[in-house]
Structure 1
């Protein structure tokens, strides 16, 4: 299952896992006066609600994730309305899949849930699961194991459904051959680029055209509405830097956390497994026990444990290693197995057969690492960081309540809250609704800054910008939107008009060249007549780095040449230039010439494509038969 999580680490599944451990801290303070009686649903899926509260949390989490990833380009690249639809659709998809899993009898037991949680690196210290670290990470996100584990169990349940469908697909040898022919195909091509600059200088622009363009596109030349903020930033990381630490406090903490600094005893064993199917009848169980007992007797009479494990063990994960399971601590393995391992008295001793849900095990103790205690000097810096963190968190929680109440009681100023809490009032520069730098790069801050209440002179509600970071903002300067004067934008308009003229001309020339090529004229003759550079590429592959990406995509979209006639088209490049593209030869990939390893990779790749298609078809079928009600807003 953990491997499956890694395999899906760039898709919706990883996104969902991240969301589960990124639930922001819920503010207290003045919000307590109002309760949550205004809770509404944004959607219902087969009668099960998606509440506005749950949706808003997910929406803001995804906004924050994208903002951290894209930085200042967030406003340019992300449409909030489209993101709203995508997040809601994801939540609907997840609910449909969870309902399907429940209906099909899928379950995630406590043992599997624990194993998955133990395998998450964020919950580990020095490569091992730490209960204290687990609780600290969750606490930092405003969660507890009680709230996190049901959500994570649901995530694993959904993953079982997806993985069960996606990994069941396969590709036939004939399909793989056809896939290889297309994937490994090579094409002979040519292209000639027609630059905009060829015509831009020829454009004749007069004052009337400039004025008319200005009048038609006034919305483009508006200076956007802008605000500048004053704000209080309550950040646990800043608080941490102000916390003093003394030696005695650290020694007290060391004593309180003594168990944490003990590396538990570990044991390394080999095992040989004779599997027993679930629900096997007594005769099958007896045969497996007898076989295990026979192998145990051979080992006790001098046979090599590793050799017998390689030959007879039915544990695919360890058989090839002679049954070696490496070092592990108590509580890691199945209860009966772990009890047997940690009951062995000396290295080299063999015990068994031990019955577990997997079957019968023969176990040999290979090595023992006793428990080790780390001295205070080795963990002093870690203790200091933790001491500061705990004190800072306590101060943050108490200050958050006070900040909420003080900024509500004094809605026209931040001074009172700043003075009472010992915080600095910070300032931002001017920014528009598209955002800006620093705090203005946060979508949540931008929305609040341009809200009627804040533009009207009030403090904002407390805004959570991450785990244990809260700000309250107010507008200190407001500039309404205004039309830029013509003289300020004249050069931009003239540039636009020249570019528009040039685009028409290059498109006309590209179309004319394609017609000439289709009529039988040679690419070389046409390029020479039009004073264009002709570039030829032989045996280009689909990922040929030497060819412009847009040209390459067009080349592999064109059909096969007929007889001596190539295939031709024209395309617009990202730069605005045009290119005329032609295919003069096609050579399919040869399935027989492909190395066996590469063929296996291609077969798996094709099966993954089929599997994903089958999963999407399954999901679409769930949607078709579901009753989905979305609240119109």
Structure 2
């Protein structure tokens, strides 16, 4: 079980880093210096959580990041999205506060290990300071901010582990799950094809013209514009950076943790599973079992064989209880970690009590901290310094770019002359699709281009953060207004749409007639004329049955009054299936493709996640929260 915990923690941490980069865990550090004046307001507090403030800047940054990663967000109600993001921020603050109160901690060495071993920060299989800086720069985070943020996420993970991974399930719950998961169903179905009704509907020219006249707004060519722009790019600045040997050595000394590897230890354990709240007789039996194992160890029996024979950790017992290499602060179990980092190589611990049970630990091996001399990582140091310099330099140049554009709002030439930038041009594009150049196809770029200030007033745009490494200023070079499409160009499209709507309505009506005949018990000639396909003992994951059809089958309830159970299912091709359930076969343990311990672990994990969610709701209920956002 400890191995499972470690693997879950490692996997969770990997996803934390991915999410940090990709979506919502970028906090207020992520907005740089280019927030709007309203966002920058120092007194703008959107919520307080037990006295801890959440600033509008932090909320706006999350929304900005979410919008950049998912363009469809801009089409949704921004106030609703921000309320959901604020709820998430409040929950995180509560979890971090609770973790601190319970004494959880994150060893800085653990942070080093995560950073050093993450594939996201590696080049050719090795940690790269340059890649690390580049990724953090892409997140608008510096090293200190990223470490702080990662520490908060690890604290939450430790809290989650202490609650979620101590759950348990009883035999009846396992039986119920097996019956449900391995259940099979027999059914028959018939398809009502839309194509059979296409020739039965007619659409006149008057129908088409009437639809066109009543829905003219649907048939416009959108407004299009072309822009000219100047762009700053961080990657292009790196070639201008130079550092002497003394500067490189100083940077290496100040940031040695980025280039070194922390001490690692390889433990094995024997675990007797027993929850802390177990009944006294069960606790006594567990302790007796541990004492028996300790006696056998003292008598000379091997740790490996005893782990294979007695350990309840199914994932490690066949390997003699062997875990994986760990560093301090990694496993979230202070009692166990203390033993692992106190033992000498080859030593065996006394009995250790955790939320999982009672452990006996043996230290198999130790790898000392690896200190990399400056000469061996000199190139990496230079790359890291270059990355950081480019970070700072682009901020300075972006400020200049914004100021020059403000002073000369009617032209890009002064910007190009003073900063040595090239004026570039786009082709015509509309608001929905954006520029053909995907590097420019960002929400901020499109909104600026179509703003009244730029499009109608003829001004340069404000400074735009195009992506995580570049900034632009643009202005309109050409504009083509929206115009209605002529009737002849859309006539065939309208006709096809109207035929589809009418034939679909007839298809659905026919299917509903069949469904009503089944439910009423009137097995009329209507049902007899249909061609029915029968399926026997089909599982819920069968890949040979249409997925829409299969979902409908397993959504159907059991019959409670001996009446037929049936439903309609519209398929991907717009046909309708009439599904008639004929038998439900509950599963048994013999139907499982995995063993019962695997099922038990799955259910324990689900139960633990549910308990953690309920714990979060209880924290929210008992906390002093003031939400000022509306």
Q: TM-score when scaled to structure 1? A: 0.73
SS at match of 2:70: helix
SS at match of 1:586: strand
SS at match of 1:556: helix
CA distance in 2, matches of 1:586, 1:357: 46
Q: 1:611 aligns with which of 603, 608, 617?
A: 608
Give the aligned partner of residue 167 of structure 1. Answer: 165
SS at match of 1:618: helix
CA distance in 2, matches of 1:107, 1:572: 54
Please tell me whether residue 506 in structure 1 is matched to residue 501 in structure 2. no
Tell me which moved more, 146-155 or 462-471: 146-155
Structural mapping, 1:73-222, within 5 Å: 74=72, 82-101=80-99, 105-111=101-107, 113-120=108-115, 121=118, 122=120, 138=136, 141-222=139-220
Please tell me whether residue 539 in structure 1 is matched to residue 537 in structure 2. yes
Give the aligned partner of residue 233 of structure 1. Answer: 231
Q: Deviations over 1:79-123 (max 9, x none)?
A: 656543432332233234345545xx2344352x54145224146
SS at match of 2:509: helix
Please tell me whether residue 401 in structure 1 is matched to residue 396 in structure 2. no
- Structure 1 residues 564 and 64: CA distance shift in structure 2, 3 A: same
Q: Which 5+ residue runs of structure 1 have no aligned equivalent?
A: 68-73, 275-290, 342-348
Give the aligned partner of residue 462 of structure 2. Answer: 461
Q: Deviations over 1:36-58 (max 9, x none)?
A: 44652344455644322111111
- Verify the 8 A CA contact 1:2 1:116 in the aligned structure 2: no
Q: Deviations over 1:283-311 (max 9, x none)?
A: xxxxxxxx9xx99xx99xxx899779979
Give the aligned partner of residue 529 of structure 2. Answer: 529
Q: 2:422 aligns with which of 409, 421, 424?
A: 424
CA distance in 2, matches of 1:192, 1:65: 43
Q: Deviations over 1:449-495 (max 9, x none)?
A: 33332333222222223333222222333344444333332222222
CA root-mean-square deviation: 5.3
Tell me which moved more, 440-449 or 577-586: 440-449
- Structure 1 residues 98 and 596: CA distance shift in structure 2, 3 A: same
SS at match of 2:444: helix
Give the aligned partner of residue 551 of structure 1. Answer: 549
Cα deviation for residue 552 of structure 1 reads 1.0
- Structure 1 residues 199 and 441: CA distance shift in structure 2, 3 A: farther
Cα deviation for residue 233 of structure 1 reads 2.2
Give the aligned partner of residue 287 of structure 1. Answer: none
Give the aligned partner of residue 70 of structure 2. Answer: 66
Q: Aligned pairs, how many? A: 585
- Structure 1 residues 213 and 38: CA distance shift in structure 2, 3 A: farther
SS at match of 1:441: coil
CA distance in 1, matches of 2:264, 2:149: 34
Give the aligned partner of residue 441 of structure 2. Answer: 441
Cα deviation for residue 510 of structure 1 reads 0.5
CA distance in 2, matches of 1:243, 1:32: 31
Give the aligned partner of residue 473 of structure 2. Answer: 472
Cα deviation for residue 186 of structure 1 reads 0.8
Tell me which moved more, 490-499 or 163-172: 163-172
Cα deviation for residue 588 of structure 1 reads 0.9
- Structure 1 residues 429 and 522: CA distance shift in structure 2, 3 A: farther
- Verify the 8 A CA contact 1:459 1:472 in the aligned structure 2: yes
Q: 1:50 aligns with which of 39, 42, 54?
A: 54
Cα deviation for residue 253 of structure 1 reads 5.5
CA distance in 2, matches of 1:369, 1:157: 24
Cα deviation for residue 555 of structure 1 reads 0.8
- Structure 1 residues 194 and 537: CA distance shift in structure 2, 3 A: same
